[in-house]
Structure 1
Amino acid sequence: MKKKSWLAGITSLVLLTGLLAGCSGNGNGNSNSSASNNESAGKNASGSSKGTVTLKMWGGVPPESGPQEVIDNWNKAHPEIQVEYVRFVNDDDGNLKLDTAMITGQDVDLYVNYTVSHAAKRVESNLALDLSKFTDYNIDEKMGSDAEGWKIDGKYYGVPTTKSAFFIALNKDALDAAGLPVPKDWTWDELREYAKKLKVGDKYGFIQNMEPFVDPIDSVLSQEGYTKADGTSNLNHPLVREWLETLNGMMQEDKTTPPLGEQLTSKMPVEQVFLSGEVPMLNIGAWLLRSSNNFTDFPRDFKIAFAQVPRLADSADQYVTRGGLGDYISINANSKKQEAAWEFLKWYSDGGMAPMAAGGRLPASKDANQDDALNSLLGDKRDTYDLDSLMYVMFDDKTPTYVRSLPQEVMDLRSQEYEKYFLGSQSLDQTLDAMAARHDSYLKQNK
């Protein structure tokens, strides 16, 4: 497949640093002795030779939030295959670090993709193993129909291991004081009214983590299509306009949510702001629970309730929420320890990952013990959550979900344009026209 400019940029970086890791033959097969050692290690995974295989797994979750306990459990039970966890931050710099490590032949045997777009780029660059070579684990059967959204060119290059949940976290005590119920089916207009009623003084009523910031657009376009029937961009869809207008009104007129420029420049620690009780509503994902369960660093005296992310007013019939499955774990196609990595990945997927629930990551496999996961999720903080709303948001299967699959280039171009609108340097019409025009250009270049 044709490699994109992102890979060219990484390759340039590699050349500038002298390809030191690649020249050492560490894990990329360039050194005969290294290849021999790795082949011997791979044989050991099936029990045909002595010694210990050591795997490196890269993931974005802090070790203390579940991964280290998972690794320790595996290592105690499997002395022949030992796993080491390497943390990378799941942002642009962190993903670049992971990609560079694989391209330069550093030790990466397994790694976690957090978006389909990242996974697709790694498949394109031959950095993810086609798992169809293994026939002893049926991903569709284990994970259900939602797994289908993670197929790339009709194949699995990883296993989607978690049930993902995105939601509005609510200060239940603040809701009660304002006489507001915990919402279920609600719209962005209704959230806007909640934010007005919950705003106290010059504080905000609503804040957002930047990762799910743009989800309302994808909720619509994942159903309506990112392109129209004639093949042109649909980024100027009327509901995209509605989202932009609503959020800008909250920023500029209501002053119930921070202006985007303020949030970006201040790098607002939204989890801390919410858990301190300063702002009563937060748009975020299930990773909030690794902080909300941590009373040492984030002490709080209020109960947390949960609501689905609102829908745009005219999207009731086709409303979907972001979710489905996540934490797509791939095996590096250049790893010489693929058999051992596969053994670990099967175990992890079928319940070995249960300690990850402490950070809001619930196992997706039908063979995982969900009671164990729920106990890990809540720990001894069960009484500090509104359980009815938590169960509804985490385990309700009635609301359809989507997995964000838009190419990273399109995500980048639309964010560059809507940021201009929120920063006041571009009108709404100019923004919609620019997003559509740039998307059209991208579509023509990638036919």
Structure 2
Amino acid sequence: MNDKKWVLGLAAAMIAASALTACGSNDDGESSSSPTAGANKEPVTLKLHTYGNEQSYNWKKTIAAFEQKYPNIKVEVIGLSEKGDTQEATKKLDLAAASGEQMDILMFSDAAAYAQRVGLGMVEPLDPFLQKEGVDFASEYKVDTLMNGKYYALPGKFNPWYVLLNKTHLKEAGLEVPKDWTWDEFMDYAKKLTKTENGKTRYGTYFHGPQNGGWLEFMKLGLVNQEENADFLKADGTSNLDSPLFRKSVEMRVKMEKEDQSATPYAEMLSQKLHYRAQFFNQSTSMIVIGSWMNTELGGTDQFPLNFEVAVAPIPKNSPSDPSGFAPVTTDYMAMAAKSKHKDEVYTFLRWYTTEGQIVQAKNVPSWKKVSNEDLAQLIDTILSGTKTPEKVDKTSLIAVLSGAKSSKIIPPVTFQAEIYKAINEEFELLILGKQDIDTMIKKSQERTQKLIDANKK
């Protein structure tokens, strides 16, 4: 979806769609600055375009609860992918927009899809609605969705990254479950947890990336726990690869694999097509850095039964004095279609869904800050109850990490993001496979990234 030609083609399609629906969003006389629609004169039906399937999002129960509270607003769920494939769903969403279909509520799975469609004019700013309701975004939500000085979406779920720990291995090594730690301590844990028996090594940790231009979170481990500039580019679009924290990320990966021999070799990950679920649940590694979408699997599944105790720790910090809790976070960007003729009702749904609706849905931890500790504990109980052996999960550590997690400030993705990822991935592979040194790897990554920035300047 980051390919420049695709975006240009999509832009042309959107312009065509705009011409087809040029009447705009207020041709019914409604004011786009009126924030709520609790008791409307006439019933309206909103269309929710989503990549989320019934199994993952519990739509029937969720929509029924909303319609019971707001009987004059009906919501029709338009599923864009039965298997929950976000790429398939995004392409279908764009085609629906280009054909002029009714669109009211839009759901994006990642910041890139969200940012691109904001740029194409598909999404309505929510600031007038928030202001009229008197909502202070920062006091309400954990995930920052600010784009170009405006809020175009409200965040749904809150899936911060964390460290999954084999608690049984920790006990054997005499190690405590970390509540607040640094990357140096993480590296020390990995060394102490690494164990070789009968010629087979159980590694302290396993990194699932980068690979094939994806999973680049594993190339910025020292950056992701920052409040600002937590990515390869800064908010102003300039390169962030001169940051000492990028160098630290690279050096840590090399040290753990080559010197400490506490991380699963990168070459093994590629050649054996390893996957983080199997590595962790089969106890080939003791720790993995991963996203909290794993909450629904922590207690074991049919495919990966749990034969040990599991605990959770926060993403490590660079130094003990750094603020705690910052981590990469995935969310659902819940947005209002710019062409919707029912903006007040859409806003009513967005606010309900991203607050109490998340509790009703009971599938994910919400981004809503006003979830009580009691509600969070009940949600975790509900989520874990869907696993095979929830009693083996250290629930206290899980709740502590999730309640303390924070999202870094969003950096709007660029259209050539995938090309940057590919360049850094390629240079890292040359490094980790012994074909260049760290200085060369960083220098070439900086040069290739800068060329991409220069080539894509308007």
**Interval of TM-score (by shorter of Structure 1 and Structure 2):** 0.7 to 0.9
Q: Deviations over 1:391-431 (max 9, x none)?
A: 3211237xx65144252456434432332233225542232
Aligned residue number for residue 402 of structure 1: 408
2:58 is the counterpart of 1:57: no
Paired letter, 1:446: K
Aligned residue number for residue 110 of structure 1: 105
Query: Is the contact between residue 146 and residue 324 of structure 1 (CA under 8 Å) also seen in structure 2?
Result: no
Aligned residue number for residue 435 of structure 1: 445
Aligned residue number for residue 362 of structure 1: 366
Q: CA 1:256 to 1:318, structure 2 compared with 1: closer, same or farther past 3 Å?
A: same
Greater helix content: 1
Q: CA 1:110 to 1:46, structure 2 compared with 1: closer, same or farther past 3 Å?
A: same
Q: CA 1:430 to 1:215, structure 2 compared with 1: closer, same or farther past 3 Å?
A: closer
Q: Deviations over 1:343-392 (max 9, x none)?
A: 21121122111145534x224142x4553343122224663322332232
Query: Is the contact between residue 147 and residue 412 of structure 2 (CA under 8 Å) also seen in structure 1?
Result: no
Consecutive aligned runs of 4 or more in structure 1 exceeding 6 Å deviation: 38-42, 224-228
What is the count of residue pairs matched by the alignment?
Answer: 423
Q: Which runs of 5+ in 2 are unaligned?
A: 32-36, 209-214
1:199 aligned to which of 194, 198, 201: 194
Query: Is the contact between residue 55 and residue 341 of structure 1 (CA under 8 Å) also seen in structure 2?
Result: no
- Give the alignment's TM-score, normalised by structure 1: 0.77
2:241 is the counterpart of 1:245: no
1:182 Cα deviation from its structure 2 partner: 1.2
Task: Report the Cα distance in structure 1 between the residues aligned to 2:247 and 2:390, rounded to whole angstroms.
Answer: 40
Query: How many percent identity over aligned positions?
Result: 24
Q: Which runs of 5+ in 1 are unaligned?
A: none
1:84 aligned to which of 67, 74, 77: 77
Alignment of 1:42-441 (within 5 A): 47-49=40-42, 53-60=45-52, 62-68=53-59, 69-75=61-67, 78=70, 80=72, 81-84=74-77, 86=79, 88=81, 89=84, 95-106=90-101, 108-134=103-129, 135-140=131-136, 143-144=139-140, 146=142, 149-200=144-195, 201-208=200-207, 210=215, 212-219=217-224, 223=228, 233-260=239-266, 263=269, 268-293=274-299, 295-312=301-318, 316-317=321-322, 321-322=326-327, 326-359=331-364, 361-366=365-370, 368=371, 371-379=374-382, 380=385, 383-396=391-404, 401-405=407-411, 407-409=413-415, 411-424=417-430, 426-441=436-451
1:156 Cα deviation from its structure 2 partner: 1.0
Query: Is the contact between residue 66 and residue 356 of structure 1 (CA under 8 Å) also seen in structure 2?
Result: yes
Query: Is the contact between residue 164 and residue 325 of structure 1 (CA under 8 Å) also seen in structure 2?
Result: yes
Q: CA 1:10 to 1:74, structure 2 compared with 1: closer, same or farther past 3 Å?
A: same
Q: Deviations over 1:190-237 (max 9, x none)?
A: 323322332342343322453743442433775468789x99633032
1:304 Cα deviation from its structure 2 partner: 1.7
Backbone CA RMSD of aligned residues: 4.2
Task: Report the Cα distance in structure 2 between the residues aligned to 1:115 and 1:79, rounded to whole angstroms.
Answer: 31
Q: Deviations over 1:14-72 (max 9, x none)?
A: 6xxxx9xx99x8xx78379x999x96999x9963335x514223145x53234424234
